Amino acid sequence: MDEPTLREVVNKCLAVAPNVRFIWHGGEPMIPGVGYYENILSICEEFRRSNQKISHSIQTNGTLINQSWIQFLSKNKFGVGVSIDGPAHIHNFARIDSAGQGTFERVMRGINLLRENELKFGTVAVVNSYSVNYPDEIFDFFYNEGISFNANPCTANPYDDEEMKTLAINPFDYTKFIVHLANRWLETDNPHFRVGPIDDIIKGVMGHQPRLCRFRGQCFLYVTIDSNGDVYPCDAFLNKDYLFGNLWSSEMTEIQAIQQSGYYSGRAEVEEACRVCEWYQVCKSGCMRTWEGNKNIENPNGMDFCEARKLLFSQIHARIAPIGNVQS
């Protein structure tokens, strides 16, 4: 994103909310270097309103983390997320560099720098058509490293390329994978080790508010802004069919109106159909990406992602019910 677009994006985002969180991601956000983000912070200060809270996080593959990045992230209190899918053979299956080489060793080097400098970080493990076969290896890797992680499914929409479709997994395989992780996790009885989304599902089952967006039903709180200023619902929908507008030609308030009257009005219909489901308070109709790329669904009941979610919630509910204080 060039500087004029950065200024436009920051200005218009800060104009509409008292608290704004910028999440820098997609390609590899560390490629522009520390100086690029120092400039972003200066732009934020220029447009910050009185008493406005601004926070930042960065989702990185970890290969470029060095001491300069450590100092910057620590000084400016950036949240850090690192993408790592598990041990070397699992991670390197899908995460290779431009030369076709696996990146596991470089990612671990970055993670170790974060740990050595006591910077908190989260990790995302994408569960694809290869890694879904190795729940125990993935669990053991993260547990032995002492790294909490989020296991996110690799999903594909009709407009995705063939490689993405090959890597994608079906909802029932993901449910089986997560239930297996849940059993392993609960056996550890380790409060310092967290596995997402299992911890969020347990929160929902116990009547609390989950943390992850896919269990909150509040998609309208988020937008994704592409490098040219185009605005989309989230990074799962960078497709012209889901384009809200462009910040060079529209105010954020106009884009928010489009969200409510168009795209998310369809979500409201789905949620109304879902309210009769026993798992609604846990699910909140799920992530729109898992609706098989269809933003016009009126009732997801019976679709694979819906039935797989019901199975997931029921199995985790049954697993933790003996512990007590769950919603029935």
User: What CATH number does the domain containing 98 carry?
Assistant: 3.20.20.70
The confidence score (pLDDT) of residue 241 equals: 74
What is residue 261's DSSP assignment? Answer: I
Residue 148: pLDDT over 90? yes
Residue 131: pLDDT over 80? yes
In the structure encoding, which two tokens stand for residue 20, read together? Answer: 């704004």
The confidence score (pLDDT) of residue 297 equals: 62
Task: Give the mean model confidence (pLDDT) for residues 254-262.
Answer: 74
Q: Which residues partner with 83 through β-bridges? A: 124
Is residue 107 a part of any domain in this protein?
A: yes
Task: Give the mean model confidence (pLDDT) for residues 19-43.
Answer: 96
Is residue 28 a part of any domain in this protein?
A: yes
* pTM for this predicted structure: 0.90
Q: How confident is the model at residue 263 (pLDDT cuts 50, 70, 90)?
A: low
Q: How confident is the model at residue 260 (pLDDT cuts 50, 70, 90)?
A: low
Q: DSSP 3-state assignment of 33?
A: coil
Least confident interval from 2-11, 94-103, 139-148, 154-163: 154-163
CA distance 88 to 86: 7
CA distance 117 to 218: 35
Tokens 């019976």 found at? 302
Q: How confident is the model at residue 324 (pLDDT cuts 50, 70, 90)?
A: low
Helices 304-320 and 171-188 meet at what angle, rounded to 10? Answer: 20
The confidence score (pLDDT) of residue 22 equals: 98
Is residue 160 a part of any domain in this protein?
A: yes
The confidence score (pLDDT) of residue 43 equals: 98
In the structure encoding, which two tokens stand for residue 193, read together? Answer: 């080790």
Q: DSSP 3-state assignment of 62?
A: coil
In the structure encoding, which two tokens stand for residue 204, read together? Answer: 């929902």
CA distance 46 to 117: 30
Is residue 328 a part of any domain in this protein?
A: no
Radius of gyration of the chain (CA): 20
**Beta-carbon contacts of residue 320 (< 8 Å; ≥ 6 apart):** 186, 202, 205, 206, 326
Q: In a 10 Å sphere around its CB, with 0-12 CB exposed, 13-18 middle and 19+ buried, how is residue 318 labelled? A: exposed
Report the 10 Å Cβ neighbour count for 192.
Answer: 7
Range of the domain at 99: 3-323
Name which of 144, 29, 36, 33 is nearest 79 in CA terms: 29
What's the length of the chain? 328
CA distance 283 to 306: 9
Q: DSSP 3-state assignment of 123?
A: strand
Is residue 79 a part of any domain in this protein?
A: yes
The confidence score (pLDDT) of residue 294 equals: 53
Q: DSSP 3-state assignment of 320?
A: helix
Residue 318: pLDDT over 80? yes
The confidence score (pLDDT) of residue 116 equals: 98
In the structure encoding, which two tokens stand for residue 178, read together? Answer: 């997560």
What is the distance of C-alpha 261 from the center of its chain?
A: 25
- Give per-residue pLDDT as tens, 85-128: 999 999 999 999 999 999 999 999 999 999 999 999 999 999 99
The confidence score (pLDDT) of residue 151 equals: 98
The confidence score (pLDDT) of residue 175 equals: 97
Percent of the chain clearing pLDDT 90 (strictly above): 66
Residue 328: pLDDT over 60? no
Q: How confident is the model at residue 270 (pLDDT cuts 50, 70, 90)?
A: confident
Residue 216: pLDDT over 70? yes
Domain count, the chain: 1
Tokens 């431009």 found at? 98
The confidence score (pLDDT) of residue 296 equals: 58
Q: Residue 261 is which amino acid?
A: S
Residue 12: pLDDT over 80? yes
The confidence score (pLDDT) of residue 21 equals: 97
The confidence score (pLDDT) of residue 298 equals: 62
CA distance 210 to 297: 24
- Whether the CB-CB separation of 320 and 203 falls below 8 Å is answered with no
- Whether the CB-CB separation of 103 and 64 falls below 8 Å is answered with no
CA distance 278 to 327: 10
CA dist 212 → 26, 102, 144, 152, 230 (Å): 19, 29, 25, 11, 24
- Give per-residue pLDDT as tens, 158-208: 677 788 889 999 999 999 999 999 999 999 989 899 999 999 999 988 888
